[in-house]
Structure 1
Amino acid sequence: MSQTKSATKLRQVLADADKIIVCPGVHDGLTARVALSIGFDALYMTGAGTAASRLGQPDLGLTTVDDMVTNAGMIAGLNRDVPVIADADTGFGGPLMIARTTEKYILQGVAAFHIEDQVTTKRCGHLTGKELVDTNTFVARIRAAAAARARMESDIVIIARTDAPQSLGYEEAVTRLKIAVQAGADVAFLEGMRTKEQMRQIVRDMAPTPCFLNMVGGGVTPLVNSQEAKDMGYKIVISPMAGLTSVYLAMHESCQELKNTGEIKDRYTENGKVDGGVRDVFELCGLSKCVEFGKEVGGVSFVNGA
């Protein structure tokens, strides 16, 4: 299937002992375009960012499968050569619904997604008070996703995430991840680690299964750079708040300026050009390519430019 192209590419990188996949968190088309322009080899669609950008709500399990799939598919469609790893929360229901969720992600061209063991009314992994389903329910989620993948003849990567350390302890978390791998998961994701030693230990305990590391600014897990993560043995490291935090800070600054002065002044580059003006944004989003395509196929909308 054509939808598996990016998933296959992701698997090839996972199999390369010398490489680590570093993903900035993106939550909409613009933040994805910025990350692509910088040259990242993969992107991460954040569930928290999707909730904040599409709903204006916190990450408390308020997004639906359609909110998440639509956003992930749009991001994946911007450049089919760059794999997109997406949050799939709890799978949005029982095994039948999880299979349907998996199919939707596959059809949208997503390369990988993670499913967790929180209850359906989940919350961000770096908040407190998380409630978990039992091990059998969690494993059934992974098994349902793997069955749907096989039925679709897809190569999509399934990432099993557990939030068990907070309430059930480290050993139970490892047990859950190992059973999830047996059920069809390809990558292990231990959320909410609090020490670097635990970050190293899970890689050792889950070997040879590749491990996934979540670097959240202001979260409970110690922050490390990508080289240190690689030295620890991780294969995928995400910075999910990269886009969301940047937008929050920049928008706050601009709105404060407009409120205080009545205007937002242009910023200039060293060459005296407006930096971040409207054409810069449109070009980032493919303005020239759209114009050229229109001309190539005989359209008349852009004969006088744009």
Structure 2
Amino acid sequence: MSEARQLPIGVFDSGVGGLSVLRALRAALPHERFVYLADSAHAPYGERGDAYVGARTHAITQYLLEQHHIKALVVACNTATAAAIHEVRSRYPALPLVGLEPAIKPALAVTRTGRVGVIGTRGTLTSAKFDKLLGSLAGQAEFVVQPCDGLAHAIERSVAQPEPSPGTPVGATETGALCARYIGAMGDFGTAPGQIDTLVLGCTHYIFVAHELRALAGPEVQFIETGEPVARQTRRLLETAGLLAAPNGDQAKEAPHTRLLTTGPVAMLQAAAQRWLGLPADCCETVSVP
């Protein structure tokens, strides 16, 4: 069991958006090793069918188990969770598994106006899993649901571009223009009666455009994302399974070992890793996952 504790945790997403979850995992689990896989060659998942996303999810899970001997898996993608989490649990019952779903339950605890906005990919927000979740909360709040076609993919592309200088209008960038389109379609934001006072970020990519979203929704609107809750749940599962890595001599003083893999161009992952996690380019590599 002591050897199993030192095995890495697998984390995957359709692209670089899941790095927001990895960032939270690294903060909450400082002695763990991680292998992150961005399936960028097959992104965006949110605009593909369930069968396709399910097949990719199974292929990546098998790859991470066979090639990296992961001790747990975090599906850092709302769309993949909705399409395939139940099948993965059935196929790998001994594998501690954490998935994502839009955090609309936590949003209920903080909304004061009773109007909650939810943004996500079309694949997530039209899934049977999300529909069931929404139905279970019927009557507790009014949910304004907005699919954001193209936004996750635009965020992926933006990492290869220079960051906008301070004062750049939101609509001057591709991501900002898409945020403006979708936030504008949802109605009024604010804390007055009838306004949306809470916004659920239902895609892991969206935390990386929080500045643009904040400029559009206003400073009083509360944002709800899933990175920290997922990290807490991962820690609970590892503790229950006796798989939580413990500091061991000099190892406790070392930075966590993190490998970043992509099925697409490595430059995009390197840029995202440096910008969002402060990780060096040499921790990234391209792999093939048939």
What TM-score does the superposition give when structure 2 sets the normalisation length?
0.31
Larger gyration radius, structure 1 or structure 2: 1
Structure ranking higher on relative contact order (CA contacts 8 Å, 6+ apart): 2
What TM-score does the superposition give when structure 1 sets the normalisation length?
0.30
